Structure formats: structure tokens, C-alpha cells
Structure 1
Amino acid sequence: MSSIRLNSSKIQCLRLAGLFVTATVTRRSLIMILVINSAGIDGVGLGLIRQHQRLGKIFDIWCLHIPVKDRTSFTGLVKLVESTVRSESNRSPKRPVYLVGESLGACIALAVAARNPDIDLVLILVNPATSFNKSVLQSTIPLLELIPGQITTMLSSTLSLMTGDPLKMAMDNVAKRLSLQPTIQDLSQDLVALSSYLPVLADILPKETLLWKIELLKAASAYANSRLHAVKAQMLVLCSGKDQLMPSQEEGERLSSALHKCEPRNFYGHGHFLLLEDGVDLVTIIKGASYYRRGRNHDYVSDFMPPTSSEFNKICEDFRWMRVLSSPVMLSTLANGKIVRGLSGIPSEGPVLFVGYHNLLGLDVLTLIPEFMIESNILLRGLAHPMMYFKSKEGGLSDLSPYDVMRIMGAVPVSGINLYKLMSSKSHVLLYPGGVREALHRKGEEYKLFWPESSEFVRMATTFGAKIVPFGAVGEDDLAQIVLDYNDQMKIPYFKSQIEELTVTAARLRTDTKGEVANQDMHMPYPVPKVPGRFYFYFGKPIETKGRKRELRDREKAHELYLEIKSEVEKCLAYLKEKRENDPYRNILPRLIYQATHGFTSQVPTFEP
């Protein structure tokens, strides 16, 4: 078996009970990950080959490979993996062990987790074969037993189902080519390679071998399903929408409902061999779901890995429409008080705390954070509502996947301890004191602050001598208009019951606050889009807290600074609302005309600061 070299680490190959285990030399700074992806029908073991390089940068990798002629029972495979997991857990008891299992490998991972509830395991299951009883393979067993000899045609057909969408995988490679002639040539080569691969596999897998593999799947599915109740491990299930071999999306929903620590992630346009398809990055998926941790619990600050250039570029591409629609204008204030276009007035050294007004549905964040990265290479670490991070026990926001992008970009659940950790790590932190009440405001409440009386974030910033940058953002009223707000929905029984259910399951943040800024009932305002206007951001002069720790230890003095920051935010909002009236490019049509004549990457002018 050929070895894959990772990060110049030496690879060891061990022969155990008729199975091969491939492992990098253990590096204690990393987490151990056991890949059980090679336990599919074909047994070739290439299911994770496109993921090895990136995984090898943050994990010690052990890969299980089952030779074609091996006849080890399912329980035998489970025991082999179990012994490796126990050994590694004993070696590093404070670190989790990750099991990545694809198809049959997912059943092995579940079985190991059920048998070892005391070990800290993280399971990444890809199109798990726990749904075998609903698979097309279930009905092939009696038929295969009746057919003598080699069954090349049927096997080729079966294997083509496993690949999910061969043409898509070929086109993924072709789409990266630049000229037409190489594109046609590469397409034909990819298709020829796929067609020639199937007969080779048919020679590798005679009828007896195929029957053994299918029976192994059947036994694995029954074993894993009978022990689901004993699984205590944290689990992420990746489900393909075009899996023609297993009903993977349906299975992901079933597992998610049955296991509280289980979260599904759906990949609607992909086939059974998900991790072989272009655009699927397992490391990014793990990061986005907040499943990468070095200890018993996930730490949103110390466990965070900044987005790579490819991850950031993909996010920018996904939200490019928002940048085109809103054409954001960034203004900042220099040390001498001069207002300039751009972010040159923003402190480059942290810690820095940005405090501002939260636009409707947080639309401002979609442009604010990317602009900081593009112009200043500063990653804003946002403090967000915990409901975007934690699956509710019953009802509420059970699908957390829409917020994966926020986690990749470094957002953390809002809490005093997380703000403390971010300040201590000298981060640039984004805080909206108005929180949900501002982001989910009602008709006529645009640009109105709903801040609590507490000045704790001032005292926290002072502890680390952080600079505080008050800022305002306007433009939501140029993009959308609320037609059904909280007050409207509470008059309609259907919406009222939804709000009450969601509010009960959501985390409560301001239990000691009363009035308008107290815990906001969770609801979704219904806006209608408008002819797109423009987003404007104005960052005021940074406020120094360094050297003021003793002064601001006094609650009255801290509250005075708090009110000063709030007043500055209101001044920023008023400034932008007034100045945008003089922007000839406030509406989208003049902007599109300008970009059509000057290039679509050119910066569109605005008012003079």
C-alpha cells in the first residue's frame, strides 16, 4: 500500500489482524484522528485522499485500510479500531480522538463510540450506512446469489451508483482549465478514466467478494443501530443530496433527532463519495461547525483557526451579491480628528473594541467584516447570540448550518468570559450592545439604540487597555422595509405560537434587565426588498483606556464613559444620515453606470467627508 506524506512527517505502516493501519508519527501538539473512510464496497481506500494534506496540518492521522481479500468480521474491525482509540486516549487523556467514518466506516465509528462512552470522541460520519435497510443494495443480495461467475456488468452499474455523479466530478476538474481545447481533452480523459476504472474494480471484486462486502454492510448497520442509545460522543453527519446508494439526507435527520449531540450538514448537489468531489473541504466543514477542539470542551478563542485565503475568498464570492448591492462606504477618523474615506484611522494593533448600532437582521455584518479583511487585513471577531451556536433540546433553531460562515470568520457566543479571552488575546472585537433588540427591531425604529444600562464592556476594555472605537452604520432602510414586525405577528395566533416556542428554547442573556432592553422575544421580522441603496459606515475617533484602569474602576466614571460612547455612536448615525443625502451614487443605477464605464472593480465615489 502506498503511503501519503503529510507535513514532512514520517509515515508508519503496521500490519494488524489482516488490516493495514497507516499513521503519522505522533506529534503531541496535535489531535489524533482515525480515518475509517476506506471501508466501502470497493476497499480501495481512496475516499479521503483529497483531504489528507489539510487534515495533516492539524491532526495526527491514522487510516484504516481493508484489503480486498480480507474477511474480518464487523466486530473484529470494531475491536481493532477500539484498541487503537483506547491506546491513543490513554496516551493523551485530555485530548479528544476524532473518528472520520464513511459509509461502513461510519458504522464502525458509531460502534466504537457505543462501546466506549467514557472516551472523549468526536465522530465525523459521511453518508453513514446505518440506512442500509433502505439502500438499493439491500435488494441485490438475493439476486447476486443466483448469478454465477463474474458479474462485471452489474458490478459496474452498482459502482457507478456509488460514485454519485461521475460527470460532476469530471466537470469539477475540467472547470478549472482555462482554454477550450485543453478543456475538451481533459473532459474526455476524465470520462475515459472513470469508464476504465469500473472494469478493473469488477476484476478486483468477484461475486463472492461483493456478497461479503454487502453482508458486512448489513451486519454493520444492524449492530450500529441497535446501540445508538449508548452513543454519547459528539457527532457531525455529512449528508449528500444526490446519494443514489443510501438515503443519506433522510438518515442525517433521523440521527440528529435521535442523538442530542448530533448535528447534520447537507450537501445537496453531491453524491455518495462526498469527500472526493471538488469544493468539499473537510477541515473547513469541521471549523464551520465548531467541532475542532483541543480539550474536553470547545474554546471559541484558543481553538480558533483564522480562515485561510481560499476559505475567505469563497466566503467573499458567496456574499459578493451583497457587496454589489450595497457598495459599502467606509469612513474612519484619524488621530487629529480628520474624517477620511477608508480604514486608515483604525488602530492596527489590538486589543480594539468596536461598539456600534446593529442594523436589521445584522445585514451590516455581511459587508463590514469582509471589508476589514480586504482593506486592512484585520479580522473582526464578532460577539453573537448563543442561539446561533447551540442546538436546542426541543424545537427552536435546530439547523445551525447557516451560521457556519460566522464561525469560520471568528464570531463567538457573547459572554463576559469570551470578551475577556478576546481582549487578552489582543483581538479586534465587534460588539453590538443593542443585540437582538436592535437587529430585530420594529417598524419606525431604524437607527434607534436599545442599549442596557450596564457598562461592563467599558470596564473589561479598561482592564486590558483596549482602544474603543464607536461607530455607526446606516443603509438598512435603503435595502429593505419591514412589513410584518413583532407587534403585527403577536396579533396572529400562528406567528404568536412560533415566537413563544422559539423564545422558550433560546438562551436568555439579560435576565437582570427590565424594560425595552430586556430579553427580546425571538422572532423574525418580515421585510420586503427595496431598490438597493447603499451602506455607509463611520468609525469615530478611537477612545483610549490605557492608563485609566484605576480611574474607571469607579462605576460612576465607567458609566460616564459608557454614555459618552453611546452618544458618539448616535452622532455617527446622525452624520451618515445627513451626509448620504449628498451622495450622487446612493442608488444602485448610478453606481452600475459608473462601474460599467470605469470597471466593476473600481471604487464608486461618494460624498466628501
Structure 2
Amino acid sequence: MVAVGACPFPTVLFSPLSVGKLNSNQISIVTPRLAVSADQILVSTGESLSAVEKKKEKKVLEKKEKRRINGWNEYLEQSKELIKPDGGPPRWFSPLECASHLDNSPLLLFLPGIDGVGLGLISHHQKLGRIFDIWCLHIPVADRTSFTDIVKIVERTVKSEYQRSPNRPIYLVGESLGACVALAVAALNPDIDLVLILANPATSFSRSNLQLLTPLLEALPDPLSPGLPNILRTMAGESLRRMLDNVVQGLPLQNTTKELVKDLTTFSLSLPVLADILPKETLEWKLQMLKSASAYAQSRLYAIKAQTLILCSGNDQLLPSHQEGERLLNLLPKSKCELRKFDDSGHFLFLEGSVDLVTIIKGTSYYRRGKYHDYASDFIPPTPDEARKIIESNSLFNLVASAVMLSTLEDGTIVKGLAGIPLEGPVLFVGYHMLLGLEKIPLVSRIFLERNILIRGIAHPMMFMRSNTGKMPEISSYDNFRIMGAVPVAPANFFKLFSSKAHMLLYPGGMREALHRKGEEYKLFWPEQSEFVRMAARFGAKIVPFGAVGEDDLGQVVFDYDDLVKIPYFRTEIESLTSEVTQLRGDVGGEVANQQVHMPLILPKVPGRFYYYFGKPFETKGRKQELRDKEKAHEFYLQVKSEVERCIAYLKLKRESDPYRSIGPRLLYQVTHGFESEVPTFEI
């Protein structure tokens, strides 16, 4: 069985926490939102919220999520309290807004960058706090703990928490300097289940612009250096830029230094607080620490076995993060390492409003509460904001497709819209995979928007595995599918989704239908096996057959698999691609056997329209024993297949009478009535 995406070319207070030299009585509140550590780590004992309070809390949080948070403003505002001198060593704190998380949530340790404040995830605390137990490391401004001692602090915490919960992974989220700490801890503890999330790691320090800060600081006039924080407080924007431009005149790599200054002065309004976070002496100390941290982590990369996610910015003026991400991807274990690029982002990735760490973790399938990721129990449904962004990213396609949706009521009446779709699961949608499998985009979008139903696609494993040769599409191109709940096709995943009463989407024809040959439009290529029927009957699921037509109005296959294999070069490429893909039907022969991975040549057409027809649901409730019989199950299977074919035939006939089948009349109607209006179609 192969399914969605089979085509490989898709478009309360927290307990005080402890570390270091603090004694058990040292508990300090540094800001109304932060509780800072004591020596023993305790479990939160906050009372559970009532259903009404939880609903109210959820609405408030969702409202906050919809606002575009200025990460820098929030970071600086909270930093004012946290950077006040207290004479203490590095310690952990837990943000108070992260007070309610899932049962058995994994521990997330945030390791800050050169600033050391520990508020780098401030824009993400609320969402992260729902699925993680979050502790952030705070390094006071005047603290001079060495890099190796900071590693020991983190390592002690990791070992202690792992001993308490050996079956729960520990997440180390580090940015720049913190990423080096995470790598060092992972190298020293290869037998502990760690998940590393590294943002612009400073392992590239020897090749970075940050090295230029040392001669820049040394070049500052002596009378200026002691009063640097006070001077910075009075300067902003162009005045600061002119002063620094004069300082860097004559320095080596002058142009590069100016780019560094440009990046730093972007946040000129934040200079008073930044001057307190990184006064000259602290900055010099941190630069030396970065140098030793980079060398330490670099020399131990070979020992790292942890699952790792690298996040790199393409517009980082401080570190060559883009290149470093690629380099680390090749040095760390290939089966456990992933890379995500943010081409337009700068160095301070987590403070940018366009970056959502929870969404990234979900899209990469990096969230787990046990030793392995479970696509059912570890799945976190998309928030309304996440779903909206994904659907909006396909808005142009949905506009062009202008999908017509028909469904069937319990009494057999065909109606426009999705009123016939069962609301309660488990439900299995079974249909035809059109050319390139693009029909799933309007289908999933409309059902989610109109019926508030999340469809869990049963997808080809290639959507969850990174290409070894780089010839397959980047795995990041499938992140949105995973956020929306796609799972690899496997009996265990079928069982778990049926058990959770999910709505699932299955294309038995899989890649063979999505990459069909010339003249094979709307022809089903289903295997003989009827496993999904018996699995559905085991849980009393409803099977909804559906037909979809219209995609072949968008393009015409002019050079298919049969043509490609006749050319030696393309035949070799097809064999190479196919060898990378997990084989799903090794025990099946004929047309539905394992499909050779290829991309047919498709000639675009003037866009037509998409049509969907959901037939009357097949009930399996109460037929568990009956459908255990292979012959009866196969007969039921053929009935479902026949209904899909009937739905396709019905749509092919009815679309001929649609006055808005062509894109011209549709656009004219939308210009006249508004692009949000629904375009009429044929009479039922």
C-alpha cells in the first residue's frame, strides 16, 4: 500500500532548579516570569486547571500566537532584570509561562549564545512549554566560568536527569556558543539519548567575522574603552555607524568588518541593554571562550552519536553558518542528522518573528517522548496558525484549481460541499492518485477548513528519509506534509491511526498512478491484496471512496517511463534513484510492483478545474468476523474499487456541462464577485 505523497516530486510556577555552586537555600526571583535555581531539581506541583480554565488559557495562547511577536523587544525587556549583578555562578531557570506541558514531556535544556542571558527562546516559550519541560542556562555578565566548566555543569544535569528518566530523551538546544556546548556534551556522553538542535553553531569561529571584533575592540581609543557602555547608551542609528566606520578604517578586511558593524547596528535601539550584557571585558572573555569552544567541539565531532538537527541562516553576518551547516551535515552520522536552511535570516535566528522552533521540530519529525519517534502518540496536531500558513502557501494553486467538492449523504443523496463526510473516526478515505499527486492539496485544505478534520496521509517512506546522493528532492520539501500529519506507510502506523480514531487518506495505486504513462489518465492500478479492508473492519472504521478528476487538464505526459528507459543516461539515473527508495512491494509483481522512480516530461496546458466526488461511506462496523475471510474481504475490496471508478466516471461526464471549467470564465467570475467567492459549477 502506497499513499499520499507517493510522487517524489511534490510541490503555574515552576519548581526552582539548580546547578553549580548554589546551596539548597539559594532561590532568587529575577523577574516576574522567571524562577531561578536551587540545588535540587523538583517536579512541578501546580494544581491542574479546570476544563473552563484550560479552554480560556488555550484561547489566550492562540491569540498571542497569531500576533507577530517582536522577539528582540521581549528579549531586551526581560534581560534588564536578569543581567543585574548577583554574584552567582551559571544556573538554570525555568520560564513561568511554560507551566503546563504534556505528560511525560521530554526535558529541553537551552544553551545560550555569546550573550549568556538564557532568553534566546523567549518568543517560543509558550509553544515549547506545551510539549517540553524547559530549563534555560543563565551565565551572569561578570561570570568567568571557563568553557570546559560550563560543559561540566550541563553534563552533570544531563546525567542526573537521564538517571531519573532513562527512557526519556533530553533535548539540547544551543545557539552559536551554546551549540558548541551541546556538541561537547554529546561527544562525552554517547550512550545517553540526546537530541541536539543547533542554531548557527560557532564551530565555524576560525572562519568567521567574529574574529574581527578583537582587533576592533583593541583599536578603540583608551579613553573610550572604559566608558563604552555609557557612550553606547547615548548613540543610535547613523551616529553609531559613523563612529564605528571611523574606527574600522585601516583595519584588515575592512569591508567585512563594516558588514559586521552593519549587522550589529541593525538593533541600535537595543544598544543600552546590549552594552550591559556584553561590556568590553565580558565581550573579550566571550570571544576567547568562542575560540576554545570551537576547537574543543571540532576535535570531538567523531564521537557524537546523538540525533542532530542543524539550523543555519543564509544571511548570518557573524558566522559562515550556511557553509558550516553543510559541513557538519557531512561529518555527523548521516542517518541521525538533518539540516534546515533559512536563507533570509540573520545570526539571531530564534528572535526572528518568521521562525517558529516548534513548527520546525514537528516538520522534521524530531519530537519524541521515547527512544523512537512514534507517528501516532508523538504527533502534535498543527495549530490554527500553522495550518493557515501551510494552506496559504498553496493559495495560488487552490485558486487555479477552483475545486468542486461533492459528497454523499447517508440516504444516498449527492450534495455540493462536504456535508457527507463523517465527522467521527476512524475514517479511511480511499481514492485515485492523479498526475503527480497534486490533487491532495485542495482535498486536505478544504476538508480541514470546512469540516475541521485533519487528514492523516499514509505516505511513501521517501518523504521521511534524506537522500544519500542528493538526487532526490530535499527532505525539507516534505516538512509541511509531516506537520499536517503524514505518516510512512506501514502496518504498525495503520494500526495506531485506526486505534486513535483518525481520519486517514490512502491511495492504493500509489506512485504507479501518480506517475502514469501516456494514455493512462484515470486508470486505477490497485494491488490484489485487500489488507486495508480487514484492518478497517477490525476497528469498525468507515471507508469513504472518492474520485478526483481534472489534473490532466493542467498537463500532458509527452515523455514517460517507457520513453526514458530507452535512453541509457536516463535509465541509469532511474536505477540510481530507485535504489535509494524503500521498496514497498517486493512480493508483488506486474503493474503494481515497486515503481521505478522517475520524472516524466509534462507539457503544461491552460489550467482546467479539479473535481472531487466522495461516495457513500462503506460501513465495516460489526463485520470484523465476516471480513476476516479473505474471499469476502476481497469482494468488499472490489466493491470499494468499483465505487472509486464510478465516482471518476460521474465527474468526467458532469464536468462537460460546467460553464466554468476553463480558467477564463472562472477568473472573470472571481474578478466580478471577489476572489473569495465560490465559483458555480454544473447542476447535480
What is the TM-score when the length of structure 2 is the normalising length?
Answer: 0.80
Match of 2:331 in 1: 258
Deviation at 1:13, TM superposition (A): 2.8
Out of 408, 429, 454, the residue aligned to residue 504 of structure 2 is 429
Structure 2 equivalent of residue 539 of structure 1: 614
Q: Which residue of 2 aligns with 1:43?
A: 116
**Amino acid paired to 1:59:** F
- The 1:148–1:73 alpha-carbon spacing in structure 2 relative to 1, beyond 3 Å, is farther
Whole-Å separation in 1 of the counterparts to 2:607 and 2:91: 59
Matching of residue 52 in structure 1 with residue 76 in structure 2? no
8 A contact 1:162–1:272 mirrored in 2: no
1:592 partnered with 2:667: yes
CA distance in 1, matches of 2:204, 2:562: 45
* 1:241 equivalent in alignment to 2:311: no
| 1:13 alignment partner AA | S
2:549 aligned residue: 474
> Distance between the aligned counterparts of 2:264 and 2:364, measured in 1?
26
Does the Cα contact within 8 Å between 1:124 and 1:238 map onto a contact in 2?
yes
C-alpha distance in 2, partners of 1:53/1:4? 15
Contact 2:179 2:201 in 1 (8 A): yes
Tell me what 2:525 maps to: 450
Q: Is the 8 A contact 2:259 2:317 kept in 1?
A: no
2:482 to 394, 398, 407: 407
Q: Answer yes or no: is the 8 Å Cα contact 2:666–2:679 preserved in 1.
A: yes
Deviations 1:13-55 (A, max 9, x none): 3489711311268976321100012x32x33443221111111
Asked if 2 retains the 8 angstrom alpha-carbon contact of 1:161 and 1:244, the reply is: yes
**8 Å Cα contact 1:110/1:224 also seen in 2:** yes
Code of the residue aligned with 2:90 in structure 1: it is L
Deviations 1:55-108 (A, max 9, x none): 111111110122222111111111111111111111111111011100010010
| Matched-pair contact (CA < 8 Å) for 1:331–1:339 | yes
Please say if 1:302 is aligned against 2:373: no
* Residue 413 (structure 2) pairs with residue 343 (structure 1): no
Q: Within the alignment, does 1:324 sit opposite 2:399 as a pair?
A: yes
Contact 1:130–1:220 (CA under 8 A) maintained in structure 2: yes
Aligned-residue offset at 1:558: 0.6
State the secondary structure of the residue aligned to 2:287: helix
Query: 1:366 — aligned with what?
Result: 441
CA contact (8 A) 2:119 2:136 kept: no
2:208 to 121, 135, 139: 135
Choose from 5, 16, 21 the match for 2:92: 21
Aligned partner of 1:567: which letter? S
Counterparts of 1:122 and 1:512, CA distance in 2 = 36
Task: Output aligned runs, 1:155-234, within 5 Å.
Answer: 161=260, 164=263, 194-198=267-271, 200-202=273-275, 205-234=278-307
Match of 1:117 in 2: 190
Q: Secondary structure at the match of 1:340?
A: strand
> Structure 1 residues 199, 533: CA separation in 2 closer, same or farther (over 3 Å shift)?
same
Q: Which one is further off, 256-265 or 107-116?
A: 256-265
Q: Distance in 2 between matches of 1:4 and 1:127?
A: 30
| 1:390 equivalent in alignment to 2:465 | yes
Q: Compute the displacement of 1:492 (Å).
A: 3.2
1:438 to 502, 513, 533: 513
1:89 is matched with 162
Q: TM-score, normalization: structure 1?
A: 0.90
Count of aligned residue pairs for this structure pair: 577
Q: 3-state SS of the aligned residue for 1:63?
A: strand
RMSD: 2.3
- 1:488 maps onto 2:563 in alignment: yes
Aligned to 1:314: 389
CA deviation after TM superposition for structure 1 residue 396, in Å:
4.9
SS of equivalent residue, structure 1 residue 350: coil
The answer to whether the 8 A contact 1:32-1:97 is kept is yes
Cα distance between partner residues in 1 of 2:258 and 2:290: 15
Is 1:11–2:35 an aligned residue pair?
A: yes
CA contact (8 A) 1:165 1:270 kept: no
1:441 deviates by 1.6
2:134 equivalent to 1:61? yes
**Runs of 5+ unmatched residues, structure 2:** 1-28, 40-86, 229-242, 249-256
**Contact 1:396 1:506 survives alignment (8 Å):** no
Using the alignment, how far apart are the partners of 2:275 and 2:499 within structure 1? 59
Report deviation, 1:369.
0.3
Shift of 1:383: 0.3
**How far, CA to CA, are the matches of 1:121 and 1:107 in structure 2?**
14
Deviation at 1:602, TM superposition (A): 1.2
- 1:287-326 per-position Cα deviation (integer Å, ceiling 9, x unaligned): 0100011110000011111111100111111110111010
Give the Cα separation in 2 of the matches to 1:31 and 1:162. 39
Find the aligned partners of 1:384 and 1:283 in 2 and give their Cα distance.
22
Contact 1:159 / 1:198 at 8 angstroms: preserved in 2?
no
For residues 375-427 of structure 1, what are the alpha-carbon distances to aligned partners after superposition, in whole Å with 9 as ceiling and x for unaligned? Answer: 11111111000011022455554731110100110110011111111111111
Q: Is the 8 A contact 1:130 1:222 kept in 2?
A: yes
Paired-residue identity, %: 64
State the distance in 2 between where 1:165 and 1:12 align.
30
2:122 and 2:679 map into 1 onto residues whose CA distance is: 45
> In the alignment, what sits opposite 1:78?
151
Picking from 567, 587, 594, the partner of 1:519 is: 594
My pick for the range that moved more, 66-75 or 400-409, is: 66-75
Letter in 1 for 2:94: A
When structure 1 is superposed on structure 2, of 488-497 and 225-234 the one drifting more is 488-497
**More displaced, 309-318 or 148-157?**
148-157
Task: State whether structure 2 residue 58 is matched by structure 1 residue 34.
Answer: no
